[in-house]
Structure 1
C-alpha cells in the first residue's frame, strides 16, 4: 500500500513486532481468573448496551451493529497498527511521491521505514498498557480481529489486562469497575452505530488535516527538535496546568500548518463532544447499576489527573494526551449544560448532521450552541 519498489515508508510489521516485544504482559492472573475476567467483560458489555441506549435515547440501526472484542495488549497493538495503516495511507502516499524513485532514495526509504517502524512500535508499547477500552473506528476487519460488515467496519475493544491492573491499583470492586468501564466504551459504540455519518465525517476531517501536513524534511526535523526540547525541558505539566502555556505544546500541535489549526479545532470539538458525552452517560447510568460508582469515580479521576510519574507525564504532554484529558472535562461540561437546558432530546439534535456539531468555541460556551441550533430551528 505504501511501498516504493518494495520498500515501505513505515515498516508496519516491525512496528507490531517492536511493540509486542517491549510491552509488559500485564498483571499476574491464573488461567481461571483470566477466563472469568473475559467472560464478565462480555456480560457487562452486553448489559451496558441496554443501559446506554435507554439513557441516551439513541437507537442504532441493526445493520450498523459492531462487535465487542475482549483483547490482550498485543491484540490492541495489532488492531491499532491496522487502523494507522489505513488512516495514514494518503499521507504516506504523498510523502512517497515527494521522495521520488531513485536507487538512493529507495535505500534511504528502507532504512527510514525500519527506523519509523521501531519508533511507532515504542509509542504503541507505551500506550498498550494504559488503554482500558477503545472504539476502533477505522481498522479493516481481519480474521483475528473481526469488524462490522460493510465498508465502514468498526469494533469495540476492551483490554482485559489493563482493566484488571487498574482495578487492583485503585483497590475498587472489580465487578463494579468492569461494568463502569463498559458503560463508557459502549457509549462510543452507540455514538458511531446510531449516527451513520459520524465515521465518514471524522475520517474526512483527519484526511484534511493530513493533507495539509508540511512534509518538507527540514521543517519536519525542526519541529521534531522543538518537540523533544519541550519534552526534555518541561518534564510534564505543573499542578493545575491545562497545557496551554508557552512551551507546553504537544507534538501534534508542533507539526501544524496554519490550515491545519482550523481543521484541528473542528476535530478537537467533535472529540470533546464524544468523550464528554461518554463520561456524562457513564455518570448518569452509574448510580443506578454500579453500587460503588462514587468511590470508583473519585479514585479514577485522581489517577487520570496525576499520571504515573514524571516520565509518564512528559510523554503524555508530548503525545498530546493531556489535551485528551481536557476533552473529557470540557466535553462533559458542555453535554451537562445542554441537557439541563434542553433535555436529552434537545441535546440529541447534536447528531442531526455535521452542521449541528458544536464548534470549539461552543464547547466552551454551550449557550452559543443552544442559541445557534435550537433558536434557529424554532
Structure 2
C-alpha cells in the first residue's frame, strides 16, 4: 500500500512541478537540459512578458540578453556532442538511485483508516511529507552521481553566463545588470530552479554557478577563447569540484597533464614520449 501511495504522490508532484515549470520557463534549455533535441533557439513570449513586467530594464534588452544566453547554450550542446547524452545518463542514473522515505509516509497514515483511504487522502499525505519525501543520498554511488551532475550543470551555466557577458559587453552597457538579474532568478525559489530539488532532491547552489563562471573567465584569460572551449573536448578534461574552488590554479595548469591518469602515462612511455 505504501509503495502504491508513494507512486501516486510522486505522479501528483511530477504533474504539479511540470505545470509550474511550463508556466515559468523562459527559453527552451533554461533548466540546463536540451529536452527538445534540436539546436533551435526557442523562447516562450508569454513567460518572458511576465518575467519582464516588474524589472527595471528595457524589455527589448532583456529579450535580447535571454536570446543570447539561449543561443550560447544551444551552441554548446551542438558543438559538444557528448554533453547532452552525458547529462541525460547522469540524470537517469541518479533518478534510479533515489529512494523514498517510507517511514515518513507511514507516520502520516493512520492504520484504522486504511480501508477508507481515498486518493485525496493520499495526496494530502504527500503534501504533509513534501520536505522529507526523498531519503538523502547516502551510498557512495549516489553521492558521486550527485556531485558529477551538480558540477556539470554548474559548468554549463557558468560557461553560458561567461560567453554571454563577453558577447554583449561591447554592445549592451547594462549587460552586467542583466546578468545579475538572471543570477538572482536562478538563486530564487522559482519553478525552474526548484524542479530538480522537488523531484530529485538535487539543489544547485548559486555559489557553485558563480565559481563556474569565474573559472571559465580565468581559463580564457590564460588560454584564450580556443583554449577555453577546448576544455569541453572530453569529459576527462573538465574541472572537478575542487577546481571550482580554485579556478586560477586550474586555469594556469596544462589541462592535459593535469588530467593524465595511469593508463595515459603508460601509453606515453610505450610511445617514447
- TM-score by length of structure 1 reads 0.52
Query: 1:296 & 1:373 partners in 2: Cα distance?
Result: 32
Q: CA deviation at 1:212?
A: 3.2
TM-fit CA distance, 1:353: 0.9
What is the RMSD of the two structures over their aligned residues, measured on CA atoms? 3.9
Cα distance in structure 2, aligned partners of 1:339 and 1:348: 9
CA contact (8 A) 2:211 2:244 kept: yes
> How many aligned residue pairs are there?
236
Q: What 5-or-longer segments of structure 1 have no aligned partner?
A: 1-103, 142-146, 149-153, 232-249
State the alpha-carbon separation in 1 of the partners of residues 135 and 171 from structure 2: 40
More strand by share: 1
- Matched with 1:194 is 79
Distance 1:273 1:199 in 2: 13
Shift of 1:324: 4.6
Structure 2: segments with no counterpart, 5+ residues: 109-124, 261-272
Report the CA distance between 1:122 and its aligned residue: 1.6
Alpha-carbon distance in structure 1 between the residues aligned to 2:167 and 2:49: 22
Q: TM-score, normalised by structure 2?
A: 0.69
Name the CA shift for 1:316/1:207 in 2 (closer, same or farther; >3 Å). closer
| 1:218 CA drift (Å) | 3.1
What's the CA shift for 1:193? 0.5
Aligned pairs for 1:304-323 within 5 A? 304-305=186-187, 319=198, 323=204
| Cross-structure match for 2:215 | 334
The 1:192/1:306 distance shift into structure 2, 3 A limit, reads closer
Alignment partner of 1:132 is 2:53? no
Deviations 1:311-370 (A, max 9, x none): x8xx68954686253342121011111111222122122111111111111122224534
Note the 1:47-196 alignment, pairs <5 A. 109=4, 113-135=7-29, 137=33, 139=35, 147-148=37-38, 156-196=41-81
Does the CA-based 8 Å contact 2:220-2:227 persist in structure 1? yes
Which of these residues, 145, 159, 165, is aligned with residue 263 of structure 1? 145
